[in-house]
Amino acid sequence: MAAIAAGAGDGASASVTGNDTAGSITLTVAALAARRSHSEVVRLTFAVPYAAPPIVLVMPANDAAWALLFGRFVRHGHAASVRLRQEDVTETSFVLRVGVTSLPREGDTYAWNYMVVG
């Protein structure tokens, strides 16, 4: 299950295909998000909690997400990015966050693949 957070902007939608060990996350933004450094964009909750926080790997799965990874979009003088910090991984969920600036464009769809080891 994916919960959409403030960093994705008003009207954003998210979906997840897969399971607790691997899958894809798709996020579509509807409106330009307000600038919120390091705010949550999406939170994925595991169906079954892990005994300890697992290792989670996230990789861009479409051109829009790849462009974020390589800093192609610049807003407020900083490249827009989405990242996973290991400290945001718990036994029950993990969080994707924006960097120091918000997602760059209205209406874009971003996709990431994830793999969980634990």
In the chain, % of residues over pLDDT 70: 68
Q: Residue 44 in contact with residue 94, Cβ under 8 Å?
A: yes
The pLDDT of residue 62 is above 70: yes
| Token output for 99 | 């960097």
- This prediction's pTM: 0.81
Contacts of 25 (CB under 8 A, 6+ apart): 2, 14, 15, 16, 42, 44, 96, 111, 112, 113, 114
Q: Which domain holds residue 95?
A: 2-117
| CATH number, domain containing residue 26 | 2.60.40
- Residue 1 pLDDT level (bands cut at 50, 70, 90): low
Tens digit of pLDDT for each residue in 6-58? 566 667 788 999 999 999 999 888 766 555 567 778 899 999 999 999 999 99
Total number of domains constituting the chain: 1
Residue type, 102: S
- Residue 72 pLDDT level (bands cut at 50, 70, 90): low
Cα–Cα distance measured from residue 118 to residue 114, given in angstroms and rounded to the nearest whole number:
13
